[in-house]
Structure 1
Amino acid sequence: MTTRTSHGRTRTGRIAVLAAALACGSLLVSCGSGDDSGGSSVSPRPTPPNTASFGGTAPSAMASAASSIIESARGQASAAASSAAARASEFEASVSAETARSAAVAEKELKDVKDGGNARSEVAMTGLPTAETGGLRAVLVTITNKTDKKASYAVQVDFKNPDGKVVETRFVGAENLEPGARKQPIVISRQPTEPQLTPALAKAQRY
């Protein structure tokens, strides 16, 4: 009667595992060899790229996308320009309707005034934000009758370039102002927004 110890069983198990590992290793070598012994030769199968991780775009698609963006930008710029032009026209029309006649009268009254006039201290000017004028350069002229009698006023505003040269002259007026009364006509420049022009009070005559 043969009695196997636990040590014997363990040793026998180790030998069996080692033999299986050697057999498996031989099989792998045989499968990967490329000799003429007749064994099948297996080439590694290439792994296809994971296109889901690609961030690129085909050239034709990129060109089409760029063209769409450019056209969209042009359309927005054109719409913005049209909108600004419309706002400018509306603003100028509202001002012109009120000041056209008084401007003609003021120009006539100032024709023979040689110096700065007798009412410069009764006139003040404030530039208006282009956001409120549709991009036009405009000046709010405040005329205040500081005398004790009813009076009319004629005002000349010159627009000067950075060199100090007068490039545009505009006229505005106020008629029959009561003592202490005030009127605020608007003068609009017709010159381009560039170069920057500075408005200057040239003449102010009370009559």
Structure 2
Amino acid sequence: MNQPSPQRRALGGRTVRRLTPAVLAAVIVAGAAACDNDTSSPGTARSTRTVSAEPTESPSQSASPRTQRDFEASVNAAVERNRQMAVKQLAGVQGKGNAVKDVSVSGVPVAQGEQFRSALVRVTNPTDKAAFYAVRVEFVDASGKVLDSVVLGIADAPPGRTISEHANSRKAAGVKSFPRIAQAERS
């Protein structure tokens, strides 16, 4: 009777060489990973790939005429337009306005050496229609002296939702200051 060599042994009709413990551990881990299909466990990353149908027309070979700089200029122009509308709207407002209860503000922590002071302005539109909000944020020091006044124009605030904008001041940079809502008008 043929005896297998000490380095070989029969396993289910196949002859297998004796594996070192490190190689055996690697084979077990690889096999377990290949068999594991439980993607619901915590910490398991899942990716989804969406495949779109091929377009019926091929896209133009020419580059888009709009650059990142053009996009930024467009956004800046829209922000400035909204700000100017808000300035005009607040010019005719007596007192604090009709929307002070809809607006809140909190200071954003400042890192040493920052060149501006920032405040997070939150607007909650309680009406059933989109609205334009004109908001004046004042940055004041500990004595209550106004260091700067910043006007925000928030267009199309959705009904029943809260949106956020930042008010930034260079004049209040480097000074311990606090933001407050001076005026808020909804139209």
Aligned equivalent of 2:116: 136
Identity %: 36
- The CA distance in 1 between the partners of 2:158 and 2:171, in whole Å, is 34
Give the Å deviation of 1:121: 1.0
Aligned equivalent of 1:179: 159
- The CA distance in 2 between the partners of 1:96 and 1:128, in whole Å, is 22
Aligned equivalent of 1:89: none
Does 2:143 match 1:163?
A: yes
Q: Quick one: which of 97, 115, 125 aligns to 1:117?
A: 97
Any residues of structure 2 matched to 1:36-185 within 5 Å, and which?
Answer: 99-131=79-111, 134-185=114-165
- Provide, for residues 2-52 of structure 1, a one-character-per-residue CA deviation record: whole Å limited to 9, x for no partner: xxxxxxxxxxxxxxxxxxxxxxxxxxxxxxxxxxxxxxxxxxxxxxxxxxx
Structure 1 residue ranges without an equivalent (≥5): 1-92
RMSD (Å) for aligned C-alpha atoms: 2.7
Higher helix share: 1
Could you tell me the TM-score, scaled by structure 1's length? 0.49
Secondary structure of 1:195's partner?
coil
- The CA distance in 2 between the partners of 1:168 and 1:179, in whole Å, is 30
Higher strand share: 2
The size of the alignment, in residue pairs, is 114
Measured at CA, do residues 121 and 193 of structure 1 come closer, stay the same or move farther in structure 2, by a change above 3 Å?
A: same
Q: Name segments (4+ residues, structure 1) moved above 6 Å.
A: none
- The CA distance in 1 between the partners of 2:88 and 2:128, in whole Å, is 25
- The CA distance in 2 between the partners of 1:204 and 1:182, in whole Å, is 15
Contact conserved, 1:99 with 1:185, CA < 8 A, in 2? no
Could you tell me the TM-score, scaled by structure 2's length? 0.53
